[in-house]
Chains A and B, each alone.
Chain A
Amino acid sequence: MNRTPSQFKILASENVADRRLRRTFQSATSHALGQRAQSVQLVPEWEDLRERAHRIKEEAVENLDFYLEKLEASVIRRGGRVFWARDASEASSYVVDLCRRLQASTVVKSKSMAAEEIGLTDALEAAGVEPVETDLGEFIIQVAGETPSHIIAPALHMTRQQIGSLFHEKFGIPYTDVPAELCAFARQRLRREFLSARLGISGVNFAAADTGTIAIVENEGNARLCTSLPRVHLAIMGLEKVIPRFSDLPLFLRLLARSSTGQRQTSYVSMISGPRREGEWDGPEEFHLVLLDNGRSDILADPRVRRSLYCIRCGACLNTCPIYQRVGGHSYGSVYSGPIGSVLTPLFQGLEVAKDLPFASSLCGSCSNICPVKIDLHHQLLWLREKLVSGRATPWQERLAMSLFAAGMKDPALYRMGSALLRLLLRVSGRTDRPFTVPGWSPTRDFPALAATSFKQWWEDNRQPGEGP
């Protein structure tokens, strides 16, 4: 199932035609939006919180080098190790080498978008290490051989009946589609893995530079187990996950939980500051933090799209996006989907590969409106469109049409002449009242006919004396 962002148009038209899939996405996203709306309503100062979070992220991103070095120092002070990974392969190699040293044949892994981004599980498998996904949604798609279709709910595209059949086929258990029973089965199966794994891998939701604390939020308890049972814990984070201060954390935890699932707080919030220390009787012996760049420095270098680094991966923009709701996460051909995916994927993978994504938006702005850290997502898409145009990545016909358009619109005489000429042509060819046929539009929608008299003409004929000019 190797999808790429360059296939967006094909995948999206296939998926939008799949009525079952569309229903699944529309009901899941509207449920999530409902939950969110209810919980946000209870916070009258919500808009202030968004603004504050935006400012803090701005501070962190504008001074990223400073805060990352501070984070590194704090982690080391607490006995942890820090690895700066320039790209996916550096990050994966570090993890694989660690597995070799630990002689780990299996690793337990909790949910991490950064790990998804670099294809960590594939790298581990290629090195003969079995990565066990312990988040229920991730577990399901791993068993199904799928990729995540939502950054919060990876198996969003599957119905519980499909999951029931999958478990029945793959594990030979009696068919059931009762969520609690499916969950109990996965839980039992995973318990063994937790106890035997030497390495636990987790993501990071926030990393406080001043204390070196990483925070992980979840609802299943699997991340807590991944980070505490195995001998070694490795956490991987995109560079942008750093926040200046531990005291900023409560604000972000509130925004994240309410925006993503509508919870006041997630069931588990783990705060980890380094490995087990002297005198402590549990926790991992080693703690590794991988700081993943993988294109983030380049994003940072462009002030127009820099704000995309504020993202806390809450998934709200996916849920509210009318495009995502109808085409689903897999259409985007990358681990990041929806509006933030349409911004990040071209930046991470290259504009050429993902050149349809910035255009796959009606610019309705509901993403920017819902984003808990106030990223102006649709404006970021507009900047990416501009980057594509100035990089001459759009078809020549379009470029020509646009320069003609601008030339015609810049010159009122030309505009008026064009408008009169068009009407004359229509009259001569006897098509005055017939609507235009517009490629792309007309197969499903009627296009209006040109008005017999333009407003301009009407004004000339009807303006009252004294009304100028």
Chain B
Amino acid sequence: MNVSLFIPCLVDQFFPSVGINLVKILRKAGVSVDYPRAQTCCGQPAFNSGYHEEAIQLARRFLEVFGEAETIVSPSGSCTSMVKVFYPEILQDPDLRRQLREVTGRTYEFSDFLVNVMGIKDLGATFPHRVTYHDACHLFRELGVHRAPRELIRHVRAIELVEMENSDACCGFGGTFSVKFPEISTAMAQDKSAAILKTEAEYVVANDSSCLMQIGGYLSRQGLPIKPLHLADLLGENL
């Protein structure tokens, strides 16, 4: 099977290790990987801010870039849901919609892909640490993925997974929401951090770099020692 990587712009620019580790993981899973280099951004920042015109242009581009791909895999629940859930809301052109239906059927968030498509739960990673898992909103509620990442974590050797209270409560990121309403966004990060602290975990794991940026940014400003960790980094670094 060939997988085309769909790497969010945030990962590309700020957290490239997530993409690199995803490549490692997919190769380990026995699939060949390619990276359509013409890709940029799925358009979510524009869409979420109400700029549908701009978002539609980027949705069209996505279809151009990934139209021929056999399978599309992304290390982000948020960008995956942009394609699978929100593109259908803004693309009106019947031809594009038909094309979109085909493409979205082959687009997956990576934990969902590994567990539910490939049937792989154990990649052979070892990580002797206590971790807790944050359910990113889009992955959890738009895509309904919450078992797969936990399966992958549980199969890591020597790891201890401790659930936090309200793991599906929003971290407060929400794109531009985080800078438009900094007090509310920070209050949400504060409560999320309190829930994480209670678990006494060393790492907080999630499948979206944006949530981790928010949670990690707050934790480090508070001088708290818990480290944010993308699931792809957890699995890929420790193979």
Contacts and interface: CB of A to CB of B under 8 A. Distances in A.
A51 B117 CA distance: 29
A363 B32 contact: no
Q: Chain A CB within 10 Å — which of B14, B38, B51 has the most?
A: B51
B175 interface: yes
A188 B40 CA distance: 68
Given A361-B174, A364-B137, A410 B57 contact: yes
A412 B185 CA distance: 32
B215 to A, nearest CB: 9
A82 interface: no
Contact of A419 (B13, B23, B141, B170): B13
Interface string A429-450: 0000000001111011111111
B48 interface: yes
B166 to A, nearest CB: 9
Contact of B13 (A323, A365, A412, A450): A450
Interface in B189-239: 189, 213-214, 216-218, 220-221
B145 interface: no
A447 B221 CA distance: 10
Contact of A448 (B14, B51, B186, B188): B14
Nearest to A468: B34
Given A406-B51, A441-B178, A459 B217 contact: no
Interface in A333-391: 358-366, 368-369, 379, 382, 384-390
B49 A385 contact: yes
A469 B172 CA distance: 37
Contacts of A444: 182, 186, 189, 218, 221
Interface string B42-57: 0101111111111001
Nearest to B41: A409
A402 B174 CA distance: 17
A42 interface: no
Interface stretch (B4-12, B94-102, B154-162): B4-12
Nearest to B42: A409
Nearest to B213: A448
A31 to B, nearest CB: 14
Contact of B182 (A368, A408, A441): A441
B146 to A, nearest CB: 13
Contacts of A454: 12-13, 16
B218 A389 contact: no
A326 B214 contact: no
B50 A415 contact: no
Contacts of B14: 448-451
Given A16-B184, A458-B16, A409 B173 contact: no
B141 A366 contact: yes
Nearest to A439: B179
B233 to A, nearest CB: 13
A469 B36 contact: yes
A440 B53 CA distance: 26
B122 interface: no
A415 B40 contact: yes
B183 interface: yes
Contact of B16 (A446, A453, A469): A453
A391 B39 CA distance: 31
A463 B220 CA distance: 34
A401 to B, nearest CB: 9
Contacts of B218: 444-445
B33 A467 contact: yes
Interface in B30-81: 32-41, 43, 45-54, 57-58, 61
B11 A445 contact: no
A154 to B, nearest CB: 23
Contacts of B61: 409-410
Q: Chain A CB within 10 Å — which of B12, B49, B50, B175 has the most?
A: B50
A164 interface: no
B89 interface: yes
Nearest to B172: A362
Contact of B34 (A365, A405, A469): A469
Interface string B5-29: 0010101111110011001000000
A456 B37 contact: yes
B187 interface: yes
Contacts of B11: 455
A38 interface: no
Contacts of A388: 50
Contacts of A365: 137-138, 141-142
Given A359-B181, A469-B34, 12 more contacts: A364-B169, A365-B141, A368-B141, A369-B141, A382-B86, A409-B41, A412-B37, A438-B179, A444-B221, A445-B189, A455-B7, A455-B12
25 contacts: A12-B183, A362-B137, A362-B185, A363-B137, A363-B174, A363-B177, A389-B49, A390-B50, A394-B49, A402-B51, A403-B54, A406-B43, A406-B54, A409-B43, A419-B12, A444-B221, A445-B217, A446-B220, A446-B221, A448-B217, A449-B14, A453-B16, A456-B12, A463-B35, A469-B34
Interface of B: 7, 9, 11-16, 19-20, 23, 32-41, 43, 45-54, 57-58, 61, 86, 89, 137-138, 141-142, 168-170, 172-189, 213-214, 216-218, 220-221
Interface of A: 9, 12-13, 16-17, 22, 322-323, 326-327, 358-366, 368-369, 379, 382, 384-390, 394, 398-399, 402-403, 405-406, 408-410, 412, 415, 419, 438-441, 443-451, 453-456, 458-460, 463, 466-469
Minimum-distance CB pairs A-B, first 10: A362-B174, A385-B50, A440-B179, A445-B217, A406-B54, A364-B170, A389-B50, A455-B16, A455-B19, A364-B137
